[in-house]
Amino acid sequence: MISSKSVSGLNGHDFTRGVMPRVKSGRFYSYVLRGSAVLFSAVLVLFVWSIIRQSWPAWSHSGLSIITGTNWAPADSQFGALPLILATLITAGVALLFAVPIGIGTALTLNYIVPPRIASPLTVLVELLAAVPSVVYGLWGLNVLVPWMSTTIQPWLAGLTSGGWPFSGNAIGLGLVLASTVLSIMVLPTIVAISRDVIAAVPRDLIEGALSLGATRSQVLLKVVVPSAKIGLLGAVSLGAGRALGETVAVAMVIGSSPSMPHSLFSLGSTLASTIATQFIDSSPQQLAALGALAMILMFLTASVNAIARALVQRGVKG
């Protein structure tokens, strides 16, 4: 007969509670782990607190008009960041609009369509895209894409709507549409790399089952693979969104650095991150506080994207 002690596990601990047993020899290791967990959370809390403290003079000067105001003129103590928030959301949104279908499509292709001997060099190429530093994307955008945009792409876009919204205004290359283009190329490798992994993890028997029922390849990919990998794909998109919202240098170089309210995709703009990067040098203490407020708004935006993705994942798990 088996004793009750041996059933409940090592030293009488019940593993089903999800807590590791405390063995004397493992105590030091567990302290190190707990210590680093506490330290990391403490760093995050202090970090957020210091940004709030730094930006406090701006909030107490302008209040919520920082979020609703449309005039960003820090030298005249005007801290209306709405144009910056809109430019951030528009560039990230348009970038994802292109990067998500292309990225997931690329991941499906690499996993299921092309043979491995072609897929693996292609994968390396896509991953190399992620290794290019953002300032290089900015330079490329400035020197290669700007002339091409202003002479070829923008006139063509304007022709589509015969100069109407959203392709109205002066076509000078720089602006929201160019920033979105550069961003979509920059977030693509992130989306491809993660989607490729989650798609590869879709159980083989699901796919074979669908095929044996007579499903076509496109039906299998769109009705079986993508739905069963949707939680992981959502994670890929939210990471891509985080990068698009926070990208700084490349955007600062191609967006035109003008804090104007976006009227069309040809408008010049300035995102939250690019404004911080271009204006912190030579700022008075009050301007620095306003830039701190922008940092707070940006953190809130990226945290919200994260939270929404988490909520969707939770729903996905339950459903």
Residue at 303: amino acid letter: A
Retrieve residue 154's tokens. 């923008």
Q: Is 117 left (phi over 0), alpha (psi -120 to 50) or beta?
A: alpha
Name the segment binding another protein (CB under 8 A); options: 35-43, 179-187, 214-222, 277-285.
277-285
Asked if 260 is part of the footprint of another protein (rule: CB under 8 A), the reply reads yes
Name the segment binding another protein (CB under 8 A); options: 37-45, 170-178, 200-208, 299-307.
170-178
Considering the complex, state which of residue 179 and residue 225 has its C-beta at the smaller distance from another protein: 179
Residue 220: DSSP 8-state: I
Asked if 102 is part of the footprint of another protein (rule: CB under 8 A), the reply reads no
- What gap in Å lies between CA 79 and CA 81, rounded to an integer? 6
Asked if 65 is part of the footprint of another protein (rule: CB under 8 A), the reply reads no
Name the segment binding another protein (CB under 8 A); options: 45-53, 65-73, 200-208, 234-242.
65-73
The answer to whether 191 and 182 are in contact (CB under 8 A) is no
What is the Cα 286 distance to its own chain's centre? 30
Taking CB under 8 A as the criterion, the residue among 73, 125, 128, 160 binding another protein is 73
Name the segment binding another protein (CB under 8 A); options: 45-53, 98-106, 116-124, 141-149.
141-149
Considering the complex, state which of residue 109 and residue 278 has its C-beta at the smaller distance from another protein: 278
Asked if 250 is part of the footprint of another protein (rule: CB under 8 A), the reply reads no
- Give the Cβ contact number of residue 26 at 10 Å: 12
If we measure between CA atoms, which residue out of 191, 189, 175 comes closest to residue 251? 175
Asked if 75 is part of the footprint of another protein (rule: CB under 8 A), the reply reads yes
Taking CB under 8 A as the criterion, the residue among 54, 65, 71, 228 binding another protein is 71
If we measure between CA atoms, which residue out of 303, 274, 253, 239 comes closest to residue 87? 274
Q: What pairs with residue 78 in β-bridges? A: 73
- Give 100-124 as a 3 state SS string: HHHHHHHHHHHHHHCCHHHHHHHHH
User: What is the phi/psi pair of residue 72, to 5°?
Assistant: -100, 100
Asked if 292 is part of the footprint of another protein (rule: CB under 8 A), the reply reads no
Taking CB under 8 A as the criterion, the residue among 142, 215, 226, 231 binding another protein is 142
Asked if 54 is part of the footprint of another protein (rule: CB under 8 A), the reply reads no
Binding footprint of another protein on the chain (CB under 8 A): 70-76, 80, 83, 142-143, 146-147, 150, 170, 172-174, 252-253, 256-261, 267-268, 270, 277-279, 281-285, 287
